Structure 1
Amino acid sequence: MINLTKIIAAVLVLLALALGGYAWVLSRKAPPPPPAVASAGVAPAKASQAQTFPVVVATKPLPAGQAIPADALRVEQLTINPTGAFKETAPLAGRVPVIDLGEGSPLLEGQLVSGLALRIAEGERAVAVKADEVMGVGNKVQPGDFVDVFLMLKFDGKDIDRSQARLLLSRKRVLAFGSASIDGLPSKTDKNGNPQAQQQPRAEAARTAVLAVPVDDVNRLTLAENSGRLLLALRNPTDMSEPDPKLFAELPTALQPASPKRGEAPRAPLEGLDRAQAGLTAADFVTGGNPNALRALTAAARPTAAATGTSSGGNRGGLQVEVIRGDRSETVRY
């Protein structure tokens, strides 16, 4: 009986040792699955951080129509790469947004002013005039060329001797001619790199020419186009010669500036936008602002008006100018 008890005790001790060894083996195995799942989640996080893109964003609100200062931009790493985004701030300094942009907004090419407006120098305006094959040097004018603008002004259809032909504007840059413009010049080579004919981009005759004109000369160009016929004369771009404005008297303006108040210094001559707003009259434009020339033209016009019976009662004279618009002609009196 005593021996049986000893045997049972020995078996229990061995069983305890076996269980302890099994527990020790289990404690030495790899970590449980949950930590493995957590480590698997770290890899996608690192991968997503690697898929960032440098994008220029605004550091403060940018109002539309105002130049962007350099200190209003910074480059951020974003998880998106919008179409038309910028990677550097240098090309954006001085550009002008077309819409209001909030702080932190990515700057895109489509949100900024583009086109011919960026090709116009300060103090210039882009002005379109009617064009045809003769006016446009046989459609040989190209965007980027420099031209002289001449004016043909008929005084009277029966009095050719008093017609005028004069240089109106000198060395003006052509921004666009027909469908071609300097902000999108058509390629002169095909897809294989072979040169194409110069006439191919202009299969259709040009109907307009866009010129860069100083703002105080826009009035003269407008009156000239509506009072006569314009002619573009193509010139070499390296030819820098221009007429001396000091040789001719300035045309009087349609609006006279207000007289200075007592004690104020005399005002300087009108220039730029001020002179453009003052405007010109057709009579001064035709005669050069010379009252004697206006009276001479008026006196010469009286016999013509009486002979044709176009004046009221046949005894009313005036300055007559033949206005040519395309293939139509009409006489305007002042």
Structure 2
Amino acid sequence: MINLTKIVAAILVLLAIVLGGYAWMLGRQAPAKTAAATAPSEQTKSQQPLTYAVVVATKPLPAGQVIPADALRIERLTVNPAGAFQEVATAAGRVPVLDLSEGSPLMENQLVSGLALRVGEGERAIAIKADEIMGVGNKIQPGDFVDVFITLKSDGKDVDRSQARLLLSRKRVLAFGSASLDGLPSKTVDKQQQQAQRTEAARTAVLAVPVDDVNRLTIGDATGRLMLALRNPNDMAEPDPKLFADLPTALQPASIRPGEPRRAPLEGLDRAQAGLTTVDLVTGGKATTGRPALTEARAISNSTRAPLPGIARGGLQVEVIRGDRSETMSY
């Protein structure tokens, strides 16, 4: 009986050893089959290149002209250039700084950026001299609205009497000193450098000014002292232009021919082209005794003026008036 039990136990031990060896063999074959099965799928994936959605031009885009939405499309490219656009809506309406060919990807550094995008239509960005007193103790920040006052001191030459008055009202500050409203994120990460930038004395202030008021601001900055008055952005009050006469322009508009309709007053670029004189800015356009005499020249018809001795008929005669003196010349 004891021998039978030993024989059975020996058989069971041998069976366990055989089953263990078989299990070990199956364990080694399974990873090999799995690796062989997954290898084709990974190879298939590696054969398909990774692509990116990039906005490209569908036709040549000239520099300086607004990009229409129908001139752009999205293509899948194997490269993703730095600064490329992924949506047409974000690139449409921008202006390229250089000519772009058809099919070229649009990138941020190829388009107009910076402070120019903050200037509204019909406005111009004008820089004027600034200091701590003029700039409200350097408390002005980009985005603020200011009134521009001018002070003119009497010196017996160009200004008859000293005066101070409002020159321009509610103008937007685009930049003050090194701080600018250009929409770009600050590259300064050091807090000490940021604090030094705030306390740095500003030397210039950049204002957004309607183009027909640029002459007024530039002459005021050249002949008088400007002062910026900070105002609440919710204060929309401005002087009524109907209460004051328009200043005459330096260039007189062309005369209207008989039968032509009456022209509208000069505005915008036309008024800026006509210009403004310092004496008219000071006096409001009123004639003064201290105003220097102008040199006037006008053609004289031969039928109304007798020819001067020694001058043949048929030549053009011009009368030149200098103050109270008159002289007739022929050429």
| TM-score computed with the length of structure 1 as normaliser | 0.70
Q: How does 1:123-272 map to 2 (within 5 A)?
A: 123-156=122-155, 162-184=161-183, 200-272=196-268
Measure, in 2, the Cα distance between the counterparts of 1:62 and 1:211. Answer: 31
Task: State the AA in 1 paired with 2:232.
Answer: N
Tell me, yes or no, if structure 1 residue 95 matches structure 2 residue 94: yes
Measure, in 2, the Cα distance between the counterparts of 1:168 and 1:186. Answer: 33
Task: State the AA in 1 paired with 2:282.
Answer: V
User: How far 1:161 sits from its partner (Å)?
Assistant: 9.4
Q: Is the 8 A contact 2:177 2:205 kept in 1?
A: yes
Task: State the AA in 1 paired with 2:133.
Answer: V
Task: State the AA in 1 paired with 2:137.
Answer: G
User: How far 1:183 sits from its partner (Å)?
Assistant: 1.5
* Number of aligned positions between the proteins: 255
Q: How does 1:34-113 map to 2 (within 5 A)?
A: 46-47=45-46, 49-113=48-112
Cα-to-partner distance string for 1:99-139 (whole Å, 9 max, x where unaligned):
00000000000000001110011000000000000000000
User: How far 1:201 sits from its partner (Å)?
Assistant: 2.7
Residues 82 and 114 of structure 1, relative CA distance in 2, 3 Å threshold: same
Residues 48 and 99 of structure 1, relative CA distance in 2, 3 Å threshold: farther
Measure, in 2, the Cα distance between the counterparts of 1:227 and 1:215. Answer: 20
User: How far 1:261 sits from its partner (Å)?
Assistant: 2.3
Residues 44 and 63 of structure 1, relative CA distance in 2, 3 Å threshold: farther
Measure, in 1, the Cα distance between the counterparts of 2:185 and 2:199. Answer: 12
Task: State the AA in 1 paired with 2:73.
Answer: R
Cα-to-partner distance string for 1:41-87 (whole Å, 9 max, x where unaligned):
x9657435341000000000000000000000000000000000010
Residues 165 and 185 of structure 1, relative CA distance in 2, 3 Å threshold: farther
Task: State the AA in 1 paired with 2:223.
Answer: S
Residues 203 and 157 of structure 1, relative CA distance in 2, 3 Å threshold: farther
User: How far 1:204 sits from its partner (Å)?
Assistant: 2.0
Q: Is the 8 A contact 1:56 1:76 kept in 2?
A: yes
Task: State the AA in 1 paired with 2:131.
Answer: D
In structure 2, the partner of 1:17 is none
Query: Secondary structure of the equivalent of 2:112?
Result: coil
The percent identity for this pair of structures is: 74
User: How far 1:259 sits from its partner (Å)?
Assistant: 1.3
Q: Is the 8 A contact 2:173 2:207 kept in 1?
A: yes
Residues 80 and 167 of structure 1, relative CA distance in 2, 3 Å threshold: same
Tell me, yes or no, if structure 1 residue 285 matches structure 2 residue 278: no
Measure, in 2, the Cα distance between the counterparts of 1:225 and 1:139. Answer: 19
Structure 1 residues 201-210 or 278-287, which shifts more?
201-210
Coordinate RMSD, CA, aligned: 2.9
User: How far 1:267 sits from its partner (Å)?
Assistant: 1.0
Query: Secondary structure of the equivalent of 2:48?
Result: helix
Measure, in 2, the Cα distance between the counterparts of 1:197 and 1:145. Answer: 23
| Gapped regions of structure 2 (runs ≥ 5) | 1-35, 293-331
Task: State the AA in 2 paired with 1:238.
Answer: N
Query: Secondary structure of the equivalent of 2:237?
Result: coil
